[in-house]
Homo-oligomer: A and B are copies of this chain.
């Protein structure tokens, strides 16, 4: 797979994810610090590869021994017959830097560094790690680690890892790949998958990420035939370019990513900080990025493996609907609850099909869930007719079949399996899921192509995830968002300048005029029409309401004159040093819904836009949506419609529907402005943005633009 598959993300600068090939598919492996003891860190990779029959060359480096575990040893890196495809560094921290330099000089271009004692330890360690990075960059080495548990690729019996997990058993066939920042948790996932009979052919742990980061690993898996389904574990995303390109490549190549990103809680955030030098980042931003590419976030290891397991069927319905066939009405209700909680659509069966099923079994409940009742166990041919109707008439993309213990029945069991096998074979494009209490039957059904879960609620969660993957894979390429030309001022702009800049970029402002003196204010008010709002105008006063610098309901010329005086008085009192340019006279808009728009700069993902309903919705309920900038109006509208408070814009409480289209345009325009403005833009606050009824537009009533390096 060539790197230009990701060119859509950043056409000018393609990323060659295949450059990790030597790390994961080496033909020759050197182990620096090789040990004769198979249980020691420097001994394990050699022991594993010898036991399993790695076909490539295996070169132990150990100055003190002529042989290591029966293999001829080399006294130094320099003594190696040639540059190995990959070298494993298993020497103490004090020697690791020199070893990497020697490997670079030898021509080695891929290194796995087990050695710990770098950035995870202290500042001296962090400085040492920077040296590793510099050496790797200079020589063009793809460096995994340091402080990592390594890699294995069971397809070629390459075990460049010192994990003890193989005590549990060797990997089994299966094309799940695990990419993990934590070695302990990555191998925990491997072992948990193994216990469940799931094969994880490739496991890569990134440790301190001095050079190779999670994004590189995800990108490699996104283009590698060894991997169909990717399980990822992250504590913090440290770089965005390769990470984003990897997510996009996986999406295009229809490889689902299930990710556990811990540190979701404040509690967890604290623990992550103490655990590694990770930047935990803002969880809301991470979530937005994962949503953007259809990465499904798992809440637990069990859920991660449930989803990965279901994904191995590679059936990802873009418009997922769930049909439920059950022998228990109670289970049907429970599954309906679970489907609603997960957000899976369960449309009813067509009326005619319901009538047909009712004719077959008078007391069945054929709507969906389709409860065929235990009746069918007396006449098993009915099962086929019910199942076919659910598939054919219902047309569901996913079908969950609940049989409790019936599937284990001595007489019913085998016939049931036979009939279900035939129906499944007739509709092989559907996601067929079996929920049953028959552990001894699971392998049989799996051999027939079924996904099996004992607990139907877990099945529903996995089914929902398949639909989310499908929707992301089917998402049309977003057209590039045209960026405006933005010239930021030298210093923090006044409200008026901020609004003018934004208005030019497509975020309209409330009609207003700056008035340097009283009579200019009156003239402006007369031109705009009463009532008006008066605001103090000063580049030094950013948050006017805090000093009483805003007057509402100013109804006539006299009140404008009074107001002008009041505002200047307050400004003098509260901010004596501020430069005062007069007042701003603005149209007072009533009956609008107050929204808040904003942009902030995420240290990893750059400018991120935010939208929420004004006031309490944001501050108390945190009811906001985030998205990386820039994005188009369709995406902006999705963000807006996803807000819990969206009904307020949609005609709730007898209000007219608000101009959501105009709001979406403003939000998208703001995102383009932020993307165009570059890193000097620290943040934008448009609060409130007043959204009028449909067709009447929306207007920024206040705006703040903050520049990098300037407080207020």
Contact = CB atoms under 8 A, between A and B. Distances in A.
Contact of A458 (B184, B302, B332, B621): B302
A679 interface: no
Nearest to A283: B337
Contacts of A365: 271, 274-275
Contacts of A340: 264-268
Contact of A367 (B164, B168, B274, B299): B274
Given A182-B328, A328-B184, A652 B300 contact: no
Interface string A438-451: 01000000000000
Interface string A268-296: 10111011100000000000000000000
A410 interface: yes
A419 interface: no
Interface stretch (A153-161, A186-194, A514-522, A560-568): A186-194
A111 interface: no
Given A191-B437, A328-B182, A339 B265 contact: yes
Contact of A455 (B180, B301, B454, B645): B301
A184 B331 contact: yes
Contact of A644 (B167, B456, B619, B621): B621
Nearest to A276: B329
Contacts of A302: 454-455, 457-458
A338 B262 CA distance: 10
Contacts of A70: none
Interface stretch (A5-13, A401-409, A665-673, A685-693): A401-409
A580 interface: no
A263 B180 CA distance: 39
Given A185-B328, A267-B346, A262 B337 contact: yes
A127 interface: no
A380 interface: no
B339 A191 contact: no
Interface string A234-268: 01000000000000000000000000101111111
A231 to B, nearest CB: 13
A271 B653 contact: no
A708 interface: no
A59 B327 CA distance: 32
Contacts of A180: 330
B235 A330 contact: yes
A333 interface: yes
B616 A267 contact: no
Contact of A405 (B168, B260, B331, B437): B168
Interface string A7-34: 0000000000000000000000000000
A94 interface: no
A233 B184 contact: no
B168 A408 contact: yes
A333 B234 CA distance: 11
Given A268-B334, A340-B268, A652-B620, A188 B328 contact: yes
A51 to B, nearest CB: 16
Given A265-B339, A265-B340, A338-B300, A184 B327 contact: yes
A259 to B, nearest CB: 13
Interface in A639-694: 644-645, 647-648, 652-653
A336 B268 contact: yes
B271 A329 contact: yes
Contacts of A437: 168, 188, 191-192, 195
Interface string A298-334: 0111100000000000000000000000011111111
A275 to B, nearest CB: 3
A300 B458 contact: yes
Interface string A150-186: 0000000000000011011000000000001110110
Nearest to A274: B365
Interface string A35-76: 000000000000000000000000000000000000000000
A369 interface: yes
A265 B644 contact: no
Contact of A164 (B409, B456, B620): B409
A408 B645 CA distance: 50
Contacts of A274: 329, 365, 367, 371
A405 B333 CA distance: 38
A317 to B, nearest CB: 19
Contacts of A427: none
Contacts of A616: 645, 648, 652-653
A578 interface: no
A654 to B, nearest CB: 9
Given A164-B405, A188-B405, A274-B371, 20 more contacts: A165-B405, A167-B409, A168-B405, A168-B408, A184-B329, A184-B404, A188-B437, A264-B340, A265-B341, A267-B336, A267-B339, A267-B340, A268-B333, A271-B333, A271-B336, A276-B329, A302-B454, A619-B647, A619-B653, A620-B652
28 contacts: A121-B363, A165-B405, A167-B408, A167-B409, A167-B410, A168-B405, A180-B330, A182-B330, A184-B404, A187-B404, A188-B331, A188-B405, A195-B454, A235-B330, A235-B333, A264-B337, A265-B336, A270-B367, A271-B333, A275-B329, A275-B332, A300-B457, A301-B455, A301-B456, A302-B458, A616-B653, A620-B647, A621-B645
Q: Which 3 A-B pairs have the closest CB atoms?
A: A265-B340, A275-B329, A182-B330
